[in-house]
Structure 1
Amino acid sequence: MLGYYNYLIEIGDTLIKNKFLLNSPTPSFVFLAIYLLLIYVIVPQYMKKKEPYTLKTIIFFYNIFQIVACTYVVYQFMTPLSEPLYNWNCDTFTHENTPKSQRRLKICYYVFLIKIVELVETVFFLMRKKLNQISGLHIYHHTSTLLLVWFLTRYYPGGLTAFWFMLNSGVHVLMYSYYFVTTLGPGFQKVSSFLKPIMTLVQMVQFVIIIVHVSQIILNPKCGLPFIVFGIVVFDAIFLFFMFASFFKATYLRNDKKKVK
């Protein structure tokens, strides 16, 4: 077991060179262990006899941070337009040390750091006592995404990965822009309420696009990515798609039926 763990550390993209939090899976597992301890034990116990916090200012600036950070990631992946860091078609992945691969690794690394920051959202829900928003989908999405992004950044920070990270960051720009609008008051919440189910559909469309895009690993062996990447990404995308679909059906379609009755 120890030998396999050392193997995981030794292999991978040679460009990371002891990059903070990337060299080993241990930091990610530690973050997730702390995350689960916080959301299942520490914060619920702390909030047991307390009134819910509003956290309006913190959430206001958190949404701004996410919008700016994700917009920056999308911008960096798409520019310069003459040689963007992503490609819809198979962008052959190699471990060659070039200015483009170094820049691509840097942006993938930023995505990984953003995913760590996103874990705080569950703590916000708990402190506001919005327990209905802490579903199995929510927790699985945060934990699986962090591990998947670590894996792709650590071993394959380029090729098809760049497109997936850019797509996900673009979706998050839309998502956090919607969240930001809802923090501006009841009037804005009412006007933007029609967007809520659309945000879930956008997430689902994202997973379909990723499944189609990753199929190039099978269709074009020259992509330079192994079958394990196809298996992990497709499994996660399909699982999340059906979880979001189930959430959409339970939350919005049933509500529509109740209104008709």
Structure 2
Amino acid sequence: MEIVTHLINDTIEFYKWSLTIADKRVEKWPLMGSPLPTLAISSMYLLFLWVGPKFMQNREPFQLRKTLIVYNFSMVILNFFIFKELFLAARAAGYSYLCQPVNYADDVNEVRMAAALWWYYVSKGVEYLDTVFFILRKKFNQVSFLHVYHHCTMFTLWWIGIKWVAGGQSFFGAHMNAAIHVIMYLYYGLAAFGPSIQKYLWWKKYLTIIQMIQFHVTIGHTALSLYIDCAFPHWMHWALIGYAITFIILFGNFYYQTYRRQPRREAPPKGGKAVANGIANGIANGVSPATNGVSKLEEKQAVVENGRRKRRGRAKREVAPPYRDRNTAGAQTLDPDPTHARFFVPEDFRAPSSGSIMPSPVLSTQL
């Protein structure tokens, strides 16, 4: 118990010391006097993740079409405003995109930069509504670990960023991310109009690609700053690199699972029938791919169908035993059911001596 008490006291002392090097310009700004409001909002968010699904369990999902349209386009406007302010403030203050230390002066352009970054921090708190809308619409599958991790950590960590480094190199990542969020919320806003617009939104997966590029650029830019020993807090550099790596892993896994992963082949049950669908997903046109379009007779003579509907009322024709080509080593056994072929072999082609079917090059033609 004494160790725990000692650890708590050390943490409090460290926090008091850190306040002495915090940015005095933002001390009186909303939410910036103490971390408690930010932590309280984030705690309420996490609590809603647990309470929300229980509340909606026996209720119909809310239809929030108009609300989502207004919300998403409002986020487009907010992020565009942040992007514009960061760009104009950086240009007016003569910022360098390679190395820019923090200027804690009360210069009008530096204060404008700090204010733009504060709005960026606030926008991350507003984005908690993304999750609220998912739960109210019972889109529980959308509330993934990546989604929660991204929303919860961004709001909390950017409070730290504004409190101690509201300017300098901090503007680079926020500037890039705000631009991406303009495109992202534009997509969500258009998608909220329904199927009439959604059919034109073919570029969804490229949003994930752009986000992953953003994280790689962030790592490269931060590593360059460390290499040239830029006069920006190194702890912030390393924190950015570590944070970006987690996003590369999580977004990369999301992209693979969503757009790259192929469905697994499902083996047919013993004695059952493999239902073919005519697509190249490991289930060929009613036959095993290993037989080059011709199915082999198994020990139990399991019939493999090719997904074609049989005509009703048609008498089933008796078929002679399968033919083997004696002149070919390892010859394949032809399917005894001629309906597996695209073209049938007429009865006139039967050899009168044995009654077997003459070989035909069109058997088991791919449909």
Q: Is the structural similarity TM-score above 0.5?
A: yes
Deviations 1:149-178 (A, max 9, x none): 111111111111111111010000010111
Q: Aligned pair in 2 of structure 1 residues 35, 82: CA closer, same or farther (>3 Å)?
A: closer
The residue that corresponds to 2:239 in the other structure is 232
The answer for unaligned runs of 5 or more in structure 2 is 1-10, 266-278, 282-367
State whether residues 89 and 110 of structure 2, in contact with CA within 8 Å, keep that contact through their aligned partners in structure 1.
no
Structure 2 CA distance for aligned equivalents of residues 252 and 217 of structure 1? 34
Structure 2 CA distance for aligned equivalents of residues 195 and 175 of structure 1? 10
Q: 1:32 aligns with which of 26, 33, 42?
A: 42
TM-score by length of 2: 0.67
Counterpart code for 1:200: T
State whether residues 78 and 84 of structure 1, in contact with CA within 8 Å, keep that contact through their aligned partners in structure 2.
no
State whether residues 27 and 163 of structure 2, in contact with CA within 8 Å, keep that contact through their aligned partners in structure 1.
no
Q: Which moved more, 1:144-153 or 1:66-75?
A: 144-153
Structure 1 CA distance for aligned equivalents of residues 158 and 262 of structure 2? 35
1:138 Cα offset (Å): 0.4
Deviations 1:73-98 (A, max 9, x none): 11111226852675422122232221
Counterpart code for 2:29: K
State whether residues 208 and 237 of structure 1, in contact with CA within 8 Å, keep that contact through their aligned partners in structure 2.
yes
State whether residues 72 and 185 of structure 2, in contact with CA within 8 Å, keep that contact through their aligned partners in structure 1.
yes
The residue that corresponds to 1:184 in the other structure is 193
The residue that corresponds to 2:118 in the other structure is 109
The residue that corresponds to 2:67 in the other structure is 58
- Look up the SS of the partner of 1:91 in the other structure: coil
Structure 1 CA distance for aligned equivalents of residues 257 and 240 of structure 2? 26
Structure 2 CA distance for aligned equivalents of residues 245 and 31 of structure 1? 29
Counterpart code for 2:179: G
Deviations 1:84-143 (A, max 9, x none): 675422122232221111111110110111111001111110111111111000000011
Q: Quick check: 1:152 aligned with 2:161?
A: yes
- Look up the SS of the partner of 2:200 in the other structure: helix
Q: Quick check: 1:49 aligned with 2:47?
A: no
- Look up the SS of the partner of 1:191 in the other structure: coil
State whether residues 85 and 100 of structure 1, in contact with CA within 8 Å, keep that contact through their aligned partners in structure 2.
no
Deviations 1:27-63 (A, max 9, x none): 111111000001112x122112101112111111110
CA RMSD across the alignment: 2.0
Structure 2 CA distance for aligned equivalents of residues 50 and 135 of structure 1? 21
1:242 Cα offset (Å): 0.9
State whether residues 117 and 166 of structure 2, in contact with CA within 8 Å, keep that contact through their aligned partners in structure 1.
yes
Structure 2 CA distance for aligned equivalents of residues 9 and 55 of structure 1? 43
The residue that corresponds to 1:209 in the other structure is 217
Between the two proteins, the alignment pairs up a number of residues equal to: 258
State whether residues 217 and 227 of structure 1, in contact with CA within 8 Å, keep that contact through their aligned partners in structure 2.
no
Q: 1:249 aligns with which of 256, 268, 278?
A: 256
Counterpart code for 1:180: G
State whether residues 85 and 162 of structure 1, in contact with CA within 8 Å, keep that contact through their aligned partners in structure 2.
no
Q: Aligned pair in 2 of structure 1 residues 14, 81: CA closer, same or farther (>3 Å)?
A: closer
Q: Aligned pair in 2 of structure 1 residues 18, 85: CA closer, same or farther (>3 Å)?
A: farther
Deviations 1:161-208 (A, max 9, x none): 11111101000001011111111220211221x211111111101111
Counterpart code for 1:174: I
Q: Quick check: 1:126 aligned with 2:118?
A: no
Q: Aligned pair in 2 of structure 1 residues 251, 86: CA closer, same or farther (>3 Å)?
A: farther
Structure 2 CA distance for aligned equivalents of residues 257 and 71 of structure 1? 43
Q: Quick check: 1:169 aligned with 2:181?
A: no
With a CA cutoff of 8 Å and minimum separation of 6, indicate the structure with the bigger relative contact order: 1
State whether residues 79 and 85 of structure 1, in contact with CA within 8 Å, keep that contact through their aligned partners in structure 2.
no
* Higher Rg of the two aligned structures: 2
State whether residues 93 and 109 of structure 2, in contact with CA within 8 Å, keep that contact through their aligned partners in structure 1.
no
The answer for unaligned runs of 5 or more in structure 1 is none
